[in-house]
């Protein structure tokens, strides 16, 4: 990534891509089965449902529908205006139009945050700040689910989108420094050899305090390519 490329430029270009392909994206992902990921989030949340869930990067609203059908209070967030409009229309849920690098979230509000195929769009130089904002938005003992395309910590552009490919070791460092405790991780799709499982899914709990955010060295970026969501 050229040092002259600003975070604002990265955000604008990535959102422009999704704006332009919003309808194709909705049709192409409408039937994707992420029930394993939704179950992984919900089973770790303490207390009695219904839960208040933030779908972080909700896109056209597919998973908002699922959370609502399961009886939970779902709120969507996306930076692409076309996605926000689709999600509001299709689900009836509250959907906030916010890009990931300019968040305005209520403190201690959510039982869970569902970040399915979204956080990998956050450049590494902004990731710790974003993770800490999600940490603050969770209730004490709240749960964060993440699913990212995995790699060797490369980051860069592909087809108009910016992405970072974390490996498990690096991803753990980011989350631990942000104040989270790991609950579980797995690779997707299930039932395939490791080489055919491009997605790293992980579940994290907001630690009681802020944690020691400076003790674990964070990985540096490398150039790489982005895979399809």
Q: Is the pLDDT of residue 43 over 90?
A: yes
pLDDT for 150-195, tens place per residue? 999 999 998 889 999 999 999 999 999 999 999 999 999 988 998 8
- Per-residue confidence (pLDDT) for residue 5, from 0 to 100: 83
Alpha carbons within 13 A on the beta-carbon side of 196: 5
- Per-residue confidence (pLDDT) for residue 221, from 0 to 100: 46
CA atoms of 198 and 117, how far apart (whole Å)? 12
Q: What is the mean pLDDT of residues 128-147?
A: 98
* Omega of the bond leading into 189 within 30 degrees of 0 (cis): yes
CA atoms of 82 and 164, how far apart (whole Å)? 24
Domains, the chain, in order of start with CATH, read 7-212 (3.40.50.150)
CA atoms of 195 and 154, how far apart (whole Å)? 17
| Sheet containing 110-116: order of strands | 94-97, 73-78, 52-56, 110-116, 138-149, 199-206, 180-188
Q: Is the pLDDT of residue 23 over 50?
A: yes
What lies within 8 Å, CB to CB, of 73 at 6+ separation is 50, 51, 52, 53
Could you give phi then psi for residue 174, rounded to 5 degrees?
A: -60, -50
pLDDT for 81-130, tens place per residue? 999 999 999 999 999 999 999 999 999 999 999 999 999 999 999 999 99
- Per-residue confidence (pLDDT) for residue 220, from 0 to 100: 53
- Per-residue confidence (pLDDT) for residue 208, from 0 to 100: 74
- Per-residue confidence (pLDDT) for residue 159, from 0 to 100: 83
CA distances (Å), origin 60, targets 31, 70, 137: 12, 18, 22
Closest CA to 126 of 158, 101, 152, 103: 101
pLDDT band (50, 70, 90) for residue 212: very low
């Amino acid at each position: 990534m050229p040092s002259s490329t600003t975070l604002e430029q990265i955000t604008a270009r990535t959102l422009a891509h999704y704006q332009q392909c919003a309808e194709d994206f909705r049709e192409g992902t409408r039937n994707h089965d992420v029930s394993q990921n939704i179950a992984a989030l919900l089973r770790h949340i303490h207390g009695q449902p219904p839960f208040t869930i933030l779908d972080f990067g909700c896109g056209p609203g597919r998973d908002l529908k699922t959370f609502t059908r399961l009886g939970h209070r779902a709120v969507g967030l996306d930076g692409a205006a076309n996605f926000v409009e689709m999600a509001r229309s299709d689900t009836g849920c509250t959907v906030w139009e916010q890009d990931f690098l300019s968040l305005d979230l209520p403190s201690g509000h959510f039982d869970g945050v569902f970040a399915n195929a979204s956080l990998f769009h956050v450049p590494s130089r902004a990731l710790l700040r974003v993770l800490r904002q999600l940490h603050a938005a969770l209730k004490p003992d709240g749960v964060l689910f993440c699913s990212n395309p995995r790699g060797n910590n490369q980051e860069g552009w592909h087809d108009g989108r910016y992405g970072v490919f974390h490996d498990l070791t690096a991803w753990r460092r980011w989350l631990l420094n942000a104040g989270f405790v790991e609950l579980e991780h797995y690779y997707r799709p299930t039932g395939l050899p490791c080489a055919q499982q491009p997605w790293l899914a992980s579940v994290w709990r907001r630690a009681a305090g802020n944690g020691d955010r400076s003790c674990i060295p964070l990985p540096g970026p490398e150039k790489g390519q982005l895979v399809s969501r």
